[in-house]
Each structure stands twice: as structure tokens, then as C-alpha cells.
Amino acid sequence: MRFTGSLLATGLQLSAVLAKQPSPNKKPNIVFVLTDDQDLHLQSMDYLPLVKKHLTDKGTFYKRHYCTTALCCPSRVTLWTGKLAHNTNVTDVNPPWGGYPKFVSQGLNEAWLPVWLQEAGYDTYYTGKLFNSHSLDTYNKPFPAGWTGSDFLLDPYTYTYMAPRYQRNRDPPVAYEGVNTMEVISQKALGFLDDAISNKDKPFFIGIAPIAPHSDITGGKNGERIWGPPVPLEKHANLFPNAKVPRTPSFNPDVESGASWVRGLHKQGDENVEYNDHYYRQRLRALQSVDELVDDVMKRLEAAKLLDNTYIIYSSDNGFHIGQHRMQPGKMCGYEEDINVPLIIRGPGVPQGAVSDVVTAHVDLAPTIMQLAGMPLRDDFDGAAIPLTKPDQKKAINNLHEHVTVEFWGKALTEGGIVFRPDEPATILNNTYKSLRIIDVKKNDYNFYYSVWCNNEHELYDMKTDPYQMTNLLHPAAKAPKTLLGRPFDAMVARLDALLFVLKSCKHETCVEPWSALHPAGNVKSLKDALNQRFDDFYVKQQKKVRFERCADGLLIDAEGPQFETEGSVYRRDGLHWSEWT
């Protein structure tokens, strides 16, 4: 996702902004608050007045920000490396598919943001959850590289609100029995902030990754893991007694929706809905300590007179659903609730109280931070720097950056802690799919979600007319329109499929400018450009279609069907296609 042709300009704009800073030689500080499983679409942001006061009202809210894999570990690895999950092969939370050991064995511990920031002259700090399977056994095999100071939550106690274990620098892990993890992390975060502020010679980066509002997970007597709602601080325990999951059209609907296993779910009964509302309130309550932590952080930055040279970034690793499409609490799906996540950025030159229309994703955040740190962007990034200033945001809209790559492998879990129907177990197999979001940011002419599941079911939602994704236009029973965007329906879908064909295995630049892979002449840069009738044949007849050979739990190329790099067609003016001339 690149803002075509604007990178150089972005760099210049940025240096103009930085030049206005009081200490022009000092690089900006960066504070990154990363919550766990926080939704955007269940309105959790409405319950965080201090985040609003300090960040949303004083910064820019990126309303079209997406995670690319809706699961903690792959999402976080993407965020801190600037690479999509199909390029890190950290696709799940535990080995062999993912987790901290996989991050290490993939060589990523030497090639991620804190290491690069230290090279750029930064002091780097982090507290809270880093990755899954970063545990009592693995925390020092080896230690995560690149941190000046660190205090990590460790598995299997990462999600145990009332008995977490943290591990500081090179010290052994420490248990905090009976203390709420949110109190622990707040103190650690503020301690690191004080350390960072006191070193006046160096700019700093601080990552603060609280567990809220993730489910609580406690070990049972027989080593089993017991899931339940998050545990708020006592003083927040009775807030919002009447709050309920927003009753949108996709909330526990009368008709089935979605595809694959989602379409097979039953409507939830009253007892189930009541429990899920309780679970929802516990999330809002647990988030209150994040709100207060942000307040404390901002007060300290203000007291240290650092606000005019500090960027504050607020986001969540992935989104969350409760009841939409009849699903139990969880994530891991491609629906909007799971992938469209909060992103707020406040800092010098960033418009205040603004809402940006640009389409951005977690894979863009490492490039964004590198650029703030005055570092060149790496050639192997799969994302591009997010435009921060007003002119850059405007330029990005015109340079059209409109897609997000979404991918997932393996199981889906329900995380509420209670199984309401024996025929709907907590672990669902074959939740493997590739999908994309595409939004016309300039004219709002289109807004789609397109997916292909590993059982080869397809989904298409026209989100201009169906924002809650209730009508899958590619379901065999659906009445699809004859034309879409002025093309025959199938010819339009073939374009989305070709785009997904490129994106599902893209590398680097191609992930940012996928249309160039299909049209190397450079005359097609958006879906709109690709709609030209003369390309109908190319998309419908010449291009191979996205297809899975089978459902795999991880990135096994032989399960993933044709690969664009070896079997794709490239449009050429003379009418020949790549497969014909190579």
C-alpha cells in the first residue's frame, strides 16, 4: 500500500514539520499504546473519555485502519516488522505455525523495529504483551533484541489478570499474585517513561501493550486453561450497568449470514445474549484503566514539556466481534468488526480533531515510525508510511491507496468462556481464508469485501449498500446484480479475484502497488482503472482464479492453489499474456 509517487514528497513535508520543532536536532519521541482485541465497531472508543480528550481531539483518527491478520501474534509481528504474515510465516500463536519461537527462528529478532530504532539513535522501551508463546520457558531463548528497557508479560500467565508474570530486562520472571495486571503495567509504563525522559541526550520509543480488553485466561487444577471475561479494577467493576453490544443489523440476526462455518451458526438464545452483554461490559470496564494510563502518560509528557516533539500512537492488535453473524465472542474472521481497528495518531504536524479517509493497515506502521525516526524505508517492507500532515493526507487521497490484504490460517476460537451449544464447539477448524478490502477513497464509488475460503466458498459484500455484510453476493442462493460498476457482475468479480491473486503472495512493493504486477505498463493503478472494458477478457479468461487445494493450518504453498508469481498472467498491450511469452 503505497501512496503512489508521494513518498519523496511525504519525506520533504515531514522534514519541513520537523524543522519547526524547538530542538531541530533531536528526533521525535514516540509512544505507542497497543491494546489487545479492542474493537472499533462495538463502540469501545465511546467509553474512553481520556483517550478522546488527549488523542482523538488532539490528533487524527484513521477510521479506515486495518489489521491484516486478525490474531494477536501474527498481527503484532506484522506491526513490528512491516511484513505481511505470508512473508513472516508467523501465522498463528503457537509453534510450529507461530509464537515467539517462530519469530526467532524466522530471523525476525534481528530485523524488527526496536533494533532499527536503536540504530537510529533511540532509547527503546516496552512493557506488556509482546507475542504469544513468549513464556516462562522461551523468554531467554534468546531475549528479544533491541530494547533498552523491557518488562514483558509471559505465557502462560499473559492473560491472567489477577496473577500475571512479568519479566524485566535480563532478570528472572516475577509473579504478581492478587494484583490486577493493569495496575502492574501502569506502574511499569510510567517508570520507563521517567527513565526515557531523564535521558535528555536521546530520543525515545516506548511500547505500552496492556492486556485489556482481552479475555481472562487462568490455569485450572489439571493444567487446563479456563477462559472468562476480562477482570476490571475494583473501582471500575460496576460501571456501565446498562451497556449492551450495539444491536446492529448483523447482531444475532434472524437469518444466517457469512460463509463457511459462520453460515452454519444458530441464532443465540436469550441466556447466551445476556451473557455476551455481560462479557461486553467487562471489556468496557477493563478498558477504563487503559484510559487512565493514557491520561497519566500524557500528563507526564506535558510536565516534561515534550508534547511538541512526541508522537503518540494508539491502536489495537486486532478487532473483535460479539454476536455479529451469530458468532460468539472472538476475532480471527475477516468481517469488519475483526479487521477495522482503532488508530489515532497525535503529534507535531498531525491535524487535531481530524478524521482521515485514507486506507491504512498495521503493515504500514513500522514504515511510518521509521520515517519519523528519519530512517530510510527498507526495501523489504510490505507497507508504506502513513501520511500524517494535512497536505500529505490530501495527497494520499488523490494518489489513491485503496486496498488492504487480509489473510488467516488455522482455527477460530470462541473466547467468552462458555459453550452454549454442544454442536457449536469453542474451537472451529478450517478457518483459513484470503481476502481483501477495497475502498474508493476519492469518490466513494465502491467499497467491497471479497474473500475466498479454503473450502473454496467465496464471499462478496457491497459495503456501500450493505455495510453490515449481511448479503453475500457470491452465495449460490444470492440474487447477484447483472452488472456492478458498469461491468458484467462476473467480469467485475474477476478483477477483485485477480487483485487477491496478486496480494495473497505479494512481496514488498507489489503489496503496495499490486495493479502494477497485473499491468506493468503502469496505466492501471486502481480498481477504477482496471474496469476498462478492454480488460474483460484478460481478467475473466486469461487470469487463473484464487483457489485452495485443501485447508491447511499454516502457510503450506501446496495447499494454497495457483501462485501469481509462477502461474499468473500479466496484461500486455500486444494482447499476449505473460504465460504465452515466457
Ligand X SMILES: *[C@@H]1O[C@H](CO)[C@@H](O)[C@H](O)[C@H]1NC(C)=O
Closest approach of ligand X to the CB of residue 559, in Å: 8
Residues sharing a CB contact under 8 Å with residue 375, sequence separation 6 or more, in sequence order: 116, 119, 120
The Cα 553–Cα 411 span in angstroms is 7
Which is the catalytic residue, given 67, 72, 511, 551?
Answer: 72
* Beta carbon of residue 540, minimum distance to ligand X (angstroms, whole number): 27
466 or 553: whose CB is closer to ligand X? 553
Complex with ligand X: residue 174 or 419, whichever CB lies closer: 419
Q: Does 264 bind ligand X (CB under 6 A)?
A: no
- 9/426 with CB nearer ligand X: 426
**Spatial separation of the C-alpha atoms in residues 304 and 203, rounded to whole Å:** 13
Residue 345 as a binder of ligand X (CB under 6 A): the answer is: no
**Shortest approach of ligand X to residue 303 CB, angstroms?**
47
Residues 6+ apart with CB under 8 A from 460: 448, 449, 450, 451, 472, 473, 474, 493, 496
| Sites for ligand X among residues 430-449 (CB under 6 A) | 430
Count of alpha carbons within 13 Å of 133, Cβ hemisphere only?
21
Least distance CB 97 / ligand X (angstroms): 6
Please report, as residue ranges, which positions from 404 to 433 form the binding site for ligand X (by CB under 6 A). Answer: 429-430
Q: Does 239 bind ligand X (CB under 6 A)?
A: no
Per CB under 6 A, does 263 bind ligand X?
A: no
Of the residues 378, 508, 544, 550, which one makes contact with ligand X according to CB under 6 A: 550
Nearest approach, Cβ of 550 to ligand X (angstroms)?
Answer: 4
Q: Which stretch binds ligand X (CB under 6 A): 34-42, 155-163, 251-259, 548-556?
A: 548-556
Beta carbon nearer to ligand X, 61 or 103: 103
88: which residues sit within 8 A by CB, 6+ positions away?
74, 77, 78, 81, 103, 106, 108
Segment contacting ligand X (CB under 6 A): 136-144, 236-244, 381-389, 553-561? 553-561
> β-strands 165-168, 427-428: how paired?
unpaired
> Element (H or E) spanning 18, and its range?
helix 7-19
List the interface residues with ligand X, window 194-233 (CB under 6 A).
Answer: none
Q: How far is the CB of 198 from ligand X (least distance, A)?
A: 43
Binding mask 484-513 for ligand X (x = CB under 6 A): ------------------------------
How far apart are the C-alpha atoms of 179 and 176, rounded to whole Å?
Answer: 6
Please identify, among the stretches 292-300, 308-316, 479-487, 555-563, the one whose residues bind ligand X according to the rule CB under 6 A. 555-563
Instruction: Identify whether the C-beta of residue 390 lies closer than 8 Å to the C-beta of residue 351.
Output: yes
Is residue 73 within 8 Å of residue 92, measured between CB atoms? yes
Least Å from the CB of residue 582 to ligand X:
23
Query: Which residues are within 8 A (CB) of 170 and not within 5 positions of it... i.e. 6 or more apart?
Result: 140, 143
C-alpha cell at 378: 527498507
Cβ at position 157, least distance to ligand X in Å: 26
Binding residue (CB under 6 A) for ligand X from 49, 96, 172, 219: 96
Piece of 74-82, 166-174, 364-372, 552-560 that binds ligand X (CB under 6 A):
552-560
Q: Are 226 and 219 in contact, with CB atoms under 8 Å apart?
A: yes
Report the nearest approach of ligand X to the CB of residue 98 (Å). Answer: 9
Our CB check for ligand X shows the closer of 92 and 336 to be 92
Site string for ligand X, 51-90 (x = CB under 6 A): --------------------------------------x-
Cα torsion 308, 45, 467, 247 to 10°: value is -170
Contact 33, 208 (CB under 8 A): yes
Helix (H) or strand (E) holding 407: strand 403-408
Does the protein bind ligand X through residue 554 (CB under 6 A)? Answer: yes
Quick one: which of 12, 237, 478, 557 contacts ligand X (CB under 6 A)? 557
Q: Give the separation between CA 177 and CA 166, rounded to whole angstroms.
A: 11
Question: Is the separation of the CB atoms in 129 and 158 below 8 Å?
Answer: yes
The residue behind cell 478522546 is: 52
The smaller minimum CB distance to ligand X, of residues 206 and 552, is found at 552
**Residue 55 DSSP code:** I
CB of 551 to ligand X, least distance (A): 3
Give the residue nearest to ligand X (CB): 551
Q: Which is nearer to ligand X, 29 or 88 (CB)?
A: 88
Taking the least distance from each CB to ligand X, the nearer of 261 and 578 is 261
Question: Locate cell 477495497: which residue?
Answer: 438
DSSP assignment string, 232-293: --GGGTT--TT------TTBS-SS--SSHHHHTPPPPPHHHHHHHHHHHHHHHHHHHHHHHH
Verify whether residue 72 is a known catalytic residue.
yes
Member of 130, 287, 555, 570 binding ligand X (CB under 6 A) = 555
Q: Which residues pair with 361 in a beta bridge?
A: 66
Separation between Cα atoms, residue 297 and residue 190, nearest integer Å: 7
Using CB under 6 A as the binding criterion, the count of chain residues that bind ligand X stands at: 11
Question: Residue 324, interface with ligand X (CB under 6 A)?
Answer: no
What's the CA gap between 408 and 68, in Å, rounded?
9
Give the residue with the Cβ less far from ligand X, 98 or 342: 98
The footprint of ligand X (CB under 6 A) covers 89, 96-97, 429-430, 550-551, 554-557
Catalytic residues: 72
